[in-house]
């Protein structure tokens, strides 16, 4: 998922009140030398169970582990492609199915990236999630937002019709991030939708999708719902409306870009209650874009940083599994390809500090980190 606005608005993980740029700058200056001096491969200190893949550990307790992939990354980096195939049973496309890629000009369709991704998944026995059909940040310049229903039907007919009988692609993110970032940005205060979007529009988009292919899993995907507050409430209201209106909504995607810090806690009980409420509507909550970052104050060593990330994974996954969540997808497998490390997506003051960003199970050298152990342990701790 493209996140150009994530850090600059400090909203992407729903933790605006906790993100202090002055505190971050001070902490970075204080800790840069210490962390830089510790940037060595400390994986020999870990006890990694490399004989058990994450997908095997998940399967043993009737769950699923997956990762986001880019068709370019898996084509250019064969070691990474092999790692993805060995660890995951599900993949989700980072960009191949987005409107701006599929139909950059009206009526001109480019299915090459999507087809390449499907071929990779099929060859490696991975199931694929199609992400995402409608998203305000992945529309071509010629397309309005929200797209007209006639454009939606025409576009969906092409893309969903093409893959209707494909057995590898099993799930569609029908609409992504339709909830506004804050009350002031919302079209209404009941559902909190983005400007110009009505709940009936979202319903109609799902109905159009179902009229073309109702055999796949249909998902509404959003971020910032892992913490109690305005956005969580609005998302729940929208899900209830869609289910009550008869829309084919099978699952809700919780992106789960998580922040953890020594200075504040995460409302685990509130999140678990949210999962209960979602499930009561008849939808399945799934974790679609999980990664973990450490907020200030930063630790003084890389080992401590990695352990904080691992602890964040385990805490979050334990809560998910306690409420019956079955599918866990990380937004990438290796820090090497994490969107969080890309200079285009970071504030300028953080560009020189990307070594602080280690949010995924494997490091930039494709070596396992404590985060992988934490995910493995969380699966193993699931009670049958």
Q: Is the peptide bond preceding residue 132 cis, with omega within 30 degrees of 0?
A: yes
Write down the pLDDT at residue 204.
Answer: 99
Contact 308, 276 (CB under 8 A): no
SS (H, E, C) 79-143: HHHHHHHHHCCEEEECCCCCHHHHCCECCECCCHHHHHHHHHHHHCCCEEEECCCEECCCCCCCC
Note whether 310 and 293 are within 8 A (CB).
no
Residue 44 has pLDDT above 50, yes or no: no
290 or 21: whose pLDDT is higher? 290
Per the structure block, which two tokens stand in for 379? 């699966």
pLDDT in tens, 314-345: 999 999 999 999 999 999 999 999 998 887 77
Q: Which residue in 215, 210, 122 sits closest to 174, CA to CA?
A: 210
Residue-wise pLDDT for 180-235, tens only, equals 999 999 999 999 999 999 999 999 999 999 999 999 999 999 999 999 899 999 99
Q: Is the distance from CB of 294 to CB of 311 less than 8 angstroms?
A: no
How confident is the model over 15-39, as a mean pLDDT?
40
pLDDT digits (tens, 9 = 90+) for 46-65: 556 778 999 999 999 999 99
pLDDT of 360-375, one tens digit each?
999 999 999 999 999 9
Q: Are 69 and 329 spatial neighbours (Cβ–Cβ below 8 Å)?
A: no
Cβ contact 18:278 at 8 Å: no
Q: How far is CA 64 from CA 19, 119, 338, in A?
A: 32, 21, 21
| pLDDT given for residue 39 in this prediction | 45
pLDDT at 351: 65
Q: Which domains does the chain have, with CATH numbers?
A: 63-294+302-334+361-380 (3.20.20.80)
Pairing of strands 64-69, 217-222: unpaired
Q: What is the mean pLDDT of residues 72-96?
A: 98
3-state secondary structure of 234: helix
pTM here is 0.89
Residue 70: the pLDDT is 96
Cβ(330)–Cβ(67) below 8 Å: yes
Which stretch, 4-18, 116-130, 334-348, has highest mean pLDDT? Answer: 116-130
Residue 4 has pLDDT above 70, yes or no: no
């Amino acid at each position: 998922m493209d996140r150009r606005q994530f850090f600059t608005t400090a909203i992407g993980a729903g933790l605006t009140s906790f993100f202090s740029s002055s505190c971050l700058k001070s902490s970075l200056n204080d800790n840069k030398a210490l962390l830089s001096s510790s940037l060595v491969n400390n994986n020999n200190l870990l006890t990694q169970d490399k004989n058990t893949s994450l997908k095997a550990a998940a399967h043993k307790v009737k769950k699923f582990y997956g990762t986001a992939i880019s068709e370019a990354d898996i084509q250019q980096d064969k070691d990474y492609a092999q790692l993805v195939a060995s660890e995951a049973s599900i993949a989700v496309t980072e960009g191949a199915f987005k409107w701006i890629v599929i139909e950059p000009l009206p009526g001109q369709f480019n299915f090459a990236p999507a087809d390449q991704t499907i071929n990779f998944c099929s060859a490696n026995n991975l199931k694929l999630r199609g992400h995402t059909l409608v998203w305000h940040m992945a529309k071509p310049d010629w397309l309005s937002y929200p797209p007209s229903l006639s454009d939606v039907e025409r576009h969906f007919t092409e893309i969903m019709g093409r893959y209707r009988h494909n057995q590898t692609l099993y799930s569609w993110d029908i609409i992504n991030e339709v909830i506004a970032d804050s009350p002031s940005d919302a079209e209404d205060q009941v559902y909190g939708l983005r400007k110009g979007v009505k709940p009936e529009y979202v319903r109609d988009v799902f109905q159009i999708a179902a009229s073309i292919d109702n055999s796949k899993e249909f998902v509404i995907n959003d971020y910032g719902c892992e913490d109690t507050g305005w956005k969580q409430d609005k998302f729940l209201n929208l899900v209830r409306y869609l289910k009550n209106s008869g829309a084919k909504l099978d699952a809700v995607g919780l992106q789960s870009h998580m922040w953890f810090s020594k200075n504040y806690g995460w409302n685990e009980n509130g999140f678990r209650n949210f999962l209960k409420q979602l499930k009561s509507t008849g939808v399945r909550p799934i974790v679609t874009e999980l990664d973990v970052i450490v907020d200030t104050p930063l630790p003084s060593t890389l080992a401590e940083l990695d352990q904080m990330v691992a602890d964040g994974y385990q805490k979050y996954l334990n809560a998910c599994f306690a409420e019956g969540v079955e599918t866990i997808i990380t937004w990438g497998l290796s820090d090497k390809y994490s969107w969080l490390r890309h200079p285009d997506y970071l504030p300028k003051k953080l560009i020189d500090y990307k070594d602080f960003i280690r949010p995924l199970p494997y490091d930039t050298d494709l070596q396992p980190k404590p985060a992988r152990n934490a995910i493995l342990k969380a699966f193993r701790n699931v009670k049958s």
